[in-house]
Structures are given as structure tokens and as C-alpha cells.
Chains A and B, each alone.
Chain A
Amino acid sequence: MHVPDGFISAPWSLATGVVAAGAVALALRGARRELDDRTAPLAGLVATFVFAGQMVNFPVAAGTSGHLLGGALAAVLVGPWTATLCLTVVLLVQALLFADGGLTALGTNVILMGVIGVWVGYAVFRLTARAMTAAATRHRPLVPLAAGVGAFVSVPAAAAGFALLFAVGGTAPIALSTLLSAMVGVHLAIGVGEAVITALVVGSVLAVRPDLVHGARGLLPTRTLVSHAEAVS
């Protein structure tokens, strides 16, 4: 999924870089709202978690394996602004220290995974969660399910984003429909894996620390803290 150098022409690489820089500037402001003064250490650790999560491979059809993109997962767990920031830092570290994803393609990768992957995933998650809460009374299993749906849509959405970008700024003449169907087709399969893993991870975090799941705020029944101790003055 990491676009290397040379896939997108130089002018379009610069253009995506400018757009990505703008998106990151917005994310920096938004993340401060989500995390206040804890932004730096928490976003750093969440970025590390996303990086580690991307190292986990899961088998996709026909012997190939995909790895987690983590955009939707991060958005549900820590909120979309922080997720964009975390994905950006992950991509930055991967490009600079691991040569994974081209340096000139950094803007492209940030737009595809950090913006499209995160925000499409998050939007679908919110919509699904809202539709489900309206239809059901038991809320708890809905959040992981909605997260899975968000993750499932986010992967082919990012792939479609790549296809569109390659059609306008790519370096090879190829019909958009061919590229779009191939990219989306392959990534639907990866999306299934992403969806299952995302749903299960969100479910397991909800079971242990439901307060940490940003996307579940307002969806889970609130539990009030009951204290039987005397107040100390």
C-alpha cells in the first residue's frame, strides 16, 4: 500500500505534499482538542502501536498476505484527528528510517492512508453506529461491528483514491476503469481482513478499558462511579 517514488509525477507529488501538509496542520490543531496537553507522548505511543500493528500480517486469498493499515482502527480508538497525526508520523518514520514508501510520495501516502483511510473509516463508523443504535437496544456489541464496517470501507476507499490519483498524476497510460476495478478488487479482500481484525481489536479494548475507545463515547451506557468512602476534607 505504501506508494514508492516514481509512481506519481513530480508536479503531482509536490501538489499532494502541499495538500497533505495542510491536512497535517489541521490535524495538529484537532488532536490538541482530543488529547489536550498529553498530545505528544500519547500520539507518539499510539503511532508506535499503529506501526507495530502494521507489522502483523494476516493471510489473504491465494497465499498472499496483507497487513493492517490501521487508519480506521486508530480513528475509532483515539479519534480521527489524532489518528491522522499518528498515521502521518508512522509514514514519516517509515519513509525516512525504513525506506518504506517513497520520500516524494510521502504526501500521496499521507492523503491515502492518513486522510482518506482515517476519515472515510471514521465517517462510515459513525454513520453505521448511529443507524444501529437507532435500530437496537443493546449497544455494547455495536461499536466493534460498526468499527469493522468502517475499516472494511476504508481500505478500498484508499485504493480507489490511489487509482484516481494515478489516473491524473500517474506515470503510465492506463484506463481508469481497469486500474480502479483491479485496485478496489484486490483491496476488498484485504478490507475483509482489516474489518475482522479491527472489529475484534476494538471489542477486546472495549472489554478491558471501554473509556479508552474514543468512538464509543456517548454510545455505551454511562456508568456512574459509586463511592462508599467518606470524603476527606
Chain B
Amino acid sequence: MGAEHGHQLHVHGDSPLHRMAAHHKVLLVVGFVLLIVATPAGTFWPYAVHATLLIGAVALSRVPPAYLARRMVVEVPFVVFALWLPFVATGPRMEVAGLSLSEAGLVAAGGLLAKGTLGVLTALLLAATTDVRDLLEGLRRLRMPAALVEIMGFMVRYLDVVGGELRRMRVALLSRGFDPRSPRHWPVLARALGALFVRSYERGERVHLAMVSRGYRPQASRR
């Protein structure tokens, strides 16, 4: 557990996108995603423009496309939601392959899928090209409350530590015959989570004491 923790999605590399200042990148990404969201569904060419821009950015960043494609699975639950829409949306209906579907629902579902996918890809690209510390510094520059940035910094710093603890607990449980799919083992799972909470909290207390002993002063009295 060394000091240097890159986060899991970060792809180390050197490209104009990697070098760009984090606060500019965050602003650009949020603006771009807002633009995508504001694009009316039922049109085609604006989405083609967004997609082309995004693909250009991916090419520029030299992040492997296959890597990004694999990470797209986070949107699966909402793909299900989008596919469900045409069946239940209101408005005039049409027949597609023997199914009665709502026209407006189909358009909306297409829009949701396009916007969701472009949004996820944009966020993935930001994560892949931005180091955590740069991101935190960028958020601070964007006037996010200092306390929030600090909490986020602690969370990111200990993500791998607590994640590793959870992983070791899981290995220990599995090697003792734990079956994660069985509700009968929920008490075991819950005890593990309870232990994880106590350990995390106590680690927080230790970190705080270590900080205080090194001269840390809390937010309120600073500045």
C-alpha cells in the first residue's frame, strides 16, 4: 500500500487531453454533456456530430477504445429501463414485429440510449485522462467547498485500502464456504460489512489523531 494511488479507471498516458488542466476539462465535459442532454430526441444529425466529436477526442487521448467499451457496462440497468419505455409510454401506437409499441416511447427510448451512452463515454474519457489529485485540485479551483474537496480526497485516498480490506474479507469468507448468492448467508455478509464499518471508522479516528498531532487544524479555524 504505497503512497501513489492511481484510481482504477485512470489510463496513464501522455496526450493533449492528459495534459489539459483538470478544471478546464471538468467544465468542458459538463458543458458537453449538458449540450447532449439538451439535444431534442427524434433528431439524428446533432447526435452524429456529438459522437464524431467524442470519437475524435478518444482518438486524441490514445486511450484504447476496447478499454472504454468494456467499462460501458455501468449503463446496463438503464438500457433495460429504456427498452421497457416503448411498451408503456402513452401516445399513438404502431406495430413492430407483432408488438404494439408507442411511437413517442420509441423516440424517447432512442434519445435516452443515445444520450446515456454519449454521457457515459464522455465521463469515462474524463476519468481515463485525469489523475485524481489533478481532479481534486481542479474541483477546488472551480470553487467547490473546501470541506467537500477534503472529504473527497480522503475517500479517494482510502478507496483502495478499504476496497482491499473488503476483498480480503471476501476471499476469507469464500474459502470457508460462503455462498454470496444465498440469502441464508446474509447474516455472514452483514457481519463482514459491520466489521468493515468499524474498521473504517476506527481508521478515520486514527487518521484524525495523526493529523492533529502533526498540526492539522479543522476547517472552521482556518483562513
Contacts and interface: CB of A to CB of B under 8 A. Distances in A.
Interface in A2-25: 2-10, 13-14, 24-25
A177 B153 CA distance: 42
B69 interface: no
B55 interface: no
**Candidate in A7, A10, A95 with the most chain B CB atoms within 10 angstroms:** A7
Given A13-B34, A99-B127, A208 B194 contact: yes
B104 interface: yes
Interface in A100-143: 100, 102-104
Interface string A20-49: 000011001000100011111111111111
B90 A174 contact: yes
A224 interface: no
A6 B124 CA distance: 16
A98 B120 CA distance: 9
A223 interface: no
Contacts of A32: 219-220
B108 A99 contact: no
Interface string B71-95: 1001101100000110011110000
Contacts of B60: none
Given A98-B9, A173-B104, A6 B198 contact: no
Contact of B186 (A42, A58, A179, A182): A58
Contact of A7 (B78, B148, B198): B78
B190 interface: yes
B208 to A, nearest CB: 4
Given A36-B218, A55-B166, A58-B183, A104 B152 contact: no
Interface string A76-107: 01100000011011101101111110111000
Interface string B109-126: 101101110111111101
A210 to B, nearest CB: 11
Contacts of B223: none
B198 A44 contact: no
A219 interface: no
Given A13-B37, A173-B105, A173-B108, A45 B154 contact: yes
A215 interface: no
A167 to B, nearest CB: 12
Interface residues of A, number: 77
B166 A99 contact: no
B204 A172 contact: no
Contact of B41 (A48, A92, A171): A171
B37 A10 contact: yes
Given A25-B145, A39-B147, A58-B186, A171 B111 contact: yes
A43 B9 contact: no
Contacts of B116: 4-7, 102
B162 interface: yes
A53 B78 CA distance: 21
A40 B191 CA distance: 26
A15 to B, nearest CB: 13
Given A102-B33, A102-B116, A52 B162 contact: yes
A172 to B, nearest CB: 3
B218 A172 contact: no
B220 A9 contact: no
B151 interface: yes
Contacts of A174: 85, 88-90, 105
Closest 7 CB pairs of A and B: A44-B154, A6-B115, A5-B119, A200-B190, A204-B194, A172-B108, A37-B218
Interface of B: 7-9, 26, 29-30, 33-34, 36-38, 41, 71, 74-75, 77-78, 84-85, 88-91, 102, 104-105, 108-109, 111-112, 114-116, 118-124, 126-127, 132, 135, 145, 147-148, 150-159, 161-163, 165-166, 180-183, 186-187, 189-191, 193-198, 200-201, 203-205, 207-208, 211, 217-220
12 contacts: A39-B218, A41-B154, A42-B208, A44-B153, A44-B157, A89-B152, A97-B132, A172-B109, A172-B112, A175-B90, A204-B194, A212-B197
